[in-house]
């Protein structure tokens, strides 16, 4: 089994990140097909890791999943400390309105979508892309959940809520049923171009063009109605991981393709709630080996792995194999954070 390590992206990773972005489907705006924007993403992450931060703000953290023996990058994932820090973070909120007439004896509850920025300020998980060869076993958990371990280890840098947007339904030609029925009428551009603008220009144009009034769902074509809250096959795996972590859906959807938006209170996320800090010891502390996510506490040198570790929760001690210590760049007497797989 290949040993994979999650670490912060470096400038030398740019060609690999470009390759991964180019292979991603339309709609993954957090990995735009723009070399300059991807470079900026790495630069922002490097600056955030170097910053002395006491609260969540404009910081972002971009990670790559590296195959250790040949340093090949096989995945990406990111965290935005505060979504919409520089501009509102827009979504549609699912709501029900009641239309009634006592005189006619009519009482209807109607599904509407209301443009909002309720989730502005929440920590945002983005950019989960994994080489298909590693979408089996525990590798996807390492790529996704190591971010939660990073949040747990550096809690003051993140908000009290965490959200993530799932890619909605669209075909290989870039046709999205919801966009074609709603957004296209106000923007006059197709779905791929709208998502590209969002990735490279930001979301400020949304408020300028999207209608501020509720959208009555029953007035939409059936295909568009059925797309609301649905998830593209590309996003099913990361969504399943987040749902197991305690994230919930149904309340909000994406403004472009109506894909589900999942959310959770930070302290209730399984990895955050079950994580522990431990001191590395040079001999097994007497506990049975269990599969853990383990990470060091170094911000710019952050490393996370999956391994079998012997952890004594009462003593706060953990024993790791020599290969694990090397991957994490820690030694006996050092500190790590870990959470059961």
* Structural Rg of the chain based on CA atoms: 22
Of 156, 6, 144, 160, nearest in space to 68 by CA: 6
Task: Note if 232 is an active site residue.
Answer: yes
Largest interatomic CA distance in the chain: 80
> CA–CA distance from 43 to each of 9, 10, 84, 326 (Å)?
9, 8, 19, 26
Phi and psi for 77 in degrees, rounded to 5?
A: -160, 155
Residue located via tokens 């298909």? 132
Active-site residue (options: 108, 154, 232, 275)? 232
Query: Which letter, b or e, does each residue of 51-63 get, where b requires 16 or more Cβ atoms within 10 Å of its Cβ?
Result: eebeebeebbbbb
Separation of alpha carbons 316 and 154, rounded Å? 19
Separation of alpha carbons 11 and 40, rounded Å? 10
Separation of alpha carbons 183 and 224, rounded Å? 11
C-alpha neighbours within 13 Å on the C-beta side of residue 90? 20
Contact between 256 and 198 (Cβ < 8 Å): yes
The residues carrying an active-site annotation are 232
């Amino acid at each position: 089994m290949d040993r994979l390590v999650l670490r912060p992206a470096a400038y030398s990773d740019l060609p690999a990140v470009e390759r991964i972005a180019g292979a991603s489907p339309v709609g993954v705006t957090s990995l735009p097909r723009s070399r300059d924007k991807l470079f900026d993403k790495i630069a922002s992450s490097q600056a955030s890791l170097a910053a002395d931060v006491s609260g969540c703000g404009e910081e972002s953290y971009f990670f790559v999943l590296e195959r250790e023996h040949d340093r090949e990058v096989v995945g990406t994932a990111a965290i935005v400390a505060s979504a919409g820090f520089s501009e509102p973070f827009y979504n549609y909120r699912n709501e029900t309105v009641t239309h009634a007439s006592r005189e006619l004896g009519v009482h209807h509850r109607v599904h509407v979508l209301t443009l909002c920025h309720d989730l502005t300020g929440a920590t945002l998980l983005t950019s989960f892309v994994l080489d298909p060869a590693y979408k089996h076993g525990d590798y996807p958990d390492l790529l996704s959940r190591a971010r939660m371990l990073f949040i747990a280890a550096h809690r003051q840098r993140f908000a009290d809520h965490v959200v993530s947007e799932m890619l909605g339904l669209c075909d290989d030609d870039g046709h999205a049923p919801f966009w074609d029925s709603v957004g296209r009428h106000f923007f006059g551009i197709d779905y791929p171009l709208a998502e590209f603008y969002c990735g490279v220009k930001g979301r400020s144009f949304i408020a300028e063009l999207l209608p501020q009034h509720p959208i009555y769902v029953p007035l939409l074509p059936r295909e568009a109605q059925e797309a609301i809250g649905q998830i593209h096959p590309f996003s099913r795996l990361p969504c399943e991981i987040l749902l197991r972590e305690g994230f919930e859906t149904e309340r909000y959807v994406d403004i472009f393709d109506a894909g589900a938006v999942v959310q959770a209170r930070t302290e209730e996320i399984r990895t955050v709630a079950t994580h522990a800090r431990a001191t590395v010891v040079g001999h097994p502390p007497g506990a049975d080996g269990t599969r853990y996510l383990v990470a060091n506490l170094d911000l710019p040198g952050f490393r996370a792995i999956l391994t079998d570790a012997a952890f004594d929760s009462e003593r706060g001690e953990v024993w790791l194999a020599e290969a694990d210590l090397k991957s994490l760049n820690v030694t006996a007497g050092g500190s790590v954070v870990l959470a059961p797989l």
